[in-house]
Amino acid sequence: MEQNNYNYVKAELPKSVGKTGVAFLLVGIVAAILAFVLEPARASFSSLLLFVYLMGLGMCSLFLVALEYLTDAVWSVAFRRISEFMTPLIFIAPLFAIPVLFNMHDVFHWSHGEAVQTDKILQWKSPYLNMSFFLIRFIAIVGIMTLFFYLIIRNSGKQDKNPDQKYTRINVKLAAILIPFFGISITLISIDWLMSLEPHWFSTIFGIYYFAGSLLSAFAVLTLFSVKLKEWKILPDFLGRDHFYNLGAFMFAFVNFWAYIAFSQLLLIWYANIPEETFWFIAKFNGSWKYFSIGLILVQFIIPYAALVSQPSKSNYKRLKIMSVWIIFAHLYDLYWLVMTTFDKNGIVFGWIEIGFIILGIGVVLLLFRFVYAKRNLIPVGDPKLNRCINFHI
């Protein structure tokens, strides 16, 4: 068995992480409570937005961990823990879905019984789109994903104390079982919480659209924390430009993947020109939403594409830091575009309520990182692939 000769010494995170996290969390909670008191409908939409963002981030982080086990990737071993730190979002994010469940009628048109009775399409969809099955799906997805989170992350942690290859073998098997469950779960999340905002509309590519954006944000969060840890000199020295190059390349790849999926969805609907599909896009070109929709192309595709296209830019720490922050917010922009067009069909609404929920989300992620970091090792010291990661060169 290969022995790792790397000696991990745990470094303290800068105090500012925890402090900023607490401050953001408190401000966010106050803003959220105020918002629910003053404008419950608008606050529900924002809460929904926060839920789908963090849920996608958590699930895709778990997916990244699973992907590393499945593909036997070497370069990412030392980064894996940062993705692992984000996976508890799988059961934290649903907290933000609970207020939405209490305001179902404001958010989901199909939850109105009388509306369904006069609507043939909704009647036909009601075996799927009804309150009890919706809740069953929600609980089942959160439950199954939490189970996989518990099993995979626990094995990864155990390996730190007992560097035994059997944990890697078990995790590879778990990851293989996870993938189909993950695919179905993230598709159902996107259908239930995003597509059913407009219950008459359907798009078969919608699940993968949400997946592409979420995985992109998972990579961006991973890259941002990695670069920051590198700046704080917490990340070990062996993680150099070759490792970061891969992060940049993956962000670049998934910017393209997202654009490819988004464009495919637009092209097919635009080409076929069927009224039951096109109205969704027409609504997104209503009033000031028009400029927001065109801006999406710029924000989530053209700018990150241009910023990351050249080879040196993918391993330039400063560029990576800026672009990961950019992409984190670009994905937010994307989800905001999906969600808030239903709230106000006439134009963009953006105010303290939306900002409050965004601050809340940032606080949650920072504090989560802070607390999990305190409990666990940043580097999987027992992983049999760590040596190869240390010696990784492009």
Partner 1 sequence: MENKKIYSVVGLFDTADEIIHASEKVVENGYKKFDINTPFPVHGLNQAMKLKSSPMGYFALVFGLTGTAIALLTMAFMMTFDYPLNIGGKPLFPLPAFIPVTFEVTVLLASIGTVLALLFVFFKMPHNSHPLHDSNYMKKCTTEKFGVCLEADDEKFNEADAKAFLEKLGAKEIETIYTVKEDVPPIFTKQFIGFLVFTVIVISGATYFVTNKLMFMPPFNWMMDQHRVNVQSVSTFFPDSFSMREKVEGTVPRGFMPEEYKESPDSAGKYLQNPLEYNEKNIALGKKKFLTYCSPCHGNLAKGDSRLKDNFPKPPTLHSKKLKEWTDGRIYHVITFGQGVMPSYAKQVTRQERWAIIQYIRTLQRALNPSEEDFNGAK
Q: Point out which residues bind partner 1 (CB under 8 A).
A: 263, 266-267, 270-271, 273, 310-312, 392-394
Residue 200 one-letter amino acid: H
Q: Which is nearer to partner 1, 215 or 269 (CB)?
A: 269
Q: How far is the CB of 312 from partner 1 (least distance, A)?
A: 6
Residue 349 one-letter amino acid: V
Q: Which is nearer to partner 1, 73 or 224 (CB)?
A: 73
Q: Which is nearer to partner 1, 375 or 393 (CB)?
A: 393
Q: How far is the CB of 276 from partner 1 (least distance, A)?
A: 17
Q: Report the alpha-carbon distance of residue 375 to residue 336 in Å, rounded.
A: 34
Say how far residue 126 (Cα) sits from the centre of its chain. 29
Q: Which is nearer to partner 1, 165 or 313 (CB)?
A: 313
Q: How far is the CB of 188 from partner 1 (least distance, A)?
A: 29
Q: How far is the CB of 345 from partner 1 (least distance, A)?
A: 23
CB 341 within 8 A of CB 335: no
Rounded to a whole number, what is the distance in angstroms from the first to the last CA of the chain? 25
Q: Report the alpha-carbon distance of residue 47 to residue 349 in Å, rounded.
A: 15
Q: Report the alpha-carbon distance of residue 3 to residue 328 in Å, rounded.
A: 37
Q: Which is nearer to partner 1, 128 or 263 (CB)?
A: 263
Name the helix (H) or strand (E) containing 19.
helix 15-38
Q: How far is the CB of 274 from partner 1 (least distance, A)?
A: 12
Q: Which is nearer to partner 1, 162 or 273 (CB)?
A: 273
Q: How far is the CB of 270 from partner 1 (least distance, A)?
A: 5
Q: Report the alpha-carbon distance of residue 16 to residue 237 in Å, rounded.
A: 23
Q: Report the alpha-carbon distance of residue 179 to residue 191 in Å, rounded.
A: 18
- Cα three-residue angle 52-56-58, rounded to 5 degrees: 120
Q: How far is the CB of 393 from partner 1 (least distance, A)?
A: 4
Q: Which is nearer to partner 1, 230 or 314 (CB)?
A: 314
Residues with Cβ < 8 Å from 1, sequence gap 6 or more?
165, 384
CB 367 within 8 A of CB 145: no
Name all contacts of 373-376 with Cβ < 8 Å and 24+ positions apart: 373/13, 373/85, 374/13, 376/81, 376/84, 376/85, 376/157, 376/160
Q: How far is the CB of 391 from partner 1 (least distance, A)?
A: 8
Q: Which is nearer to partner 1, 162 or 271 (CB)?
A: 271
Q: How far is the CB of 305 from partner 1 (least distance, A)?
A: 12
Cβ count within 10 A of residue 123? 11
Q: Report the alpha-carbon distance of residue 306 to residue 324 in Å, rounded.
A: 14
Burial class (CB in 10 A: 0-12, 13-18, 19+), 100: buried
DSSP one-letter code for 378:
S
Q: Which is nearer to partner 1, 200 or 241 (CB)?
A: 241
Q: How far is the CB of 266 from partner 1 (least distance, A)?
A: 6
Q: Which is nearer to partner 1, 19 or 290 (CB)?
A: 290
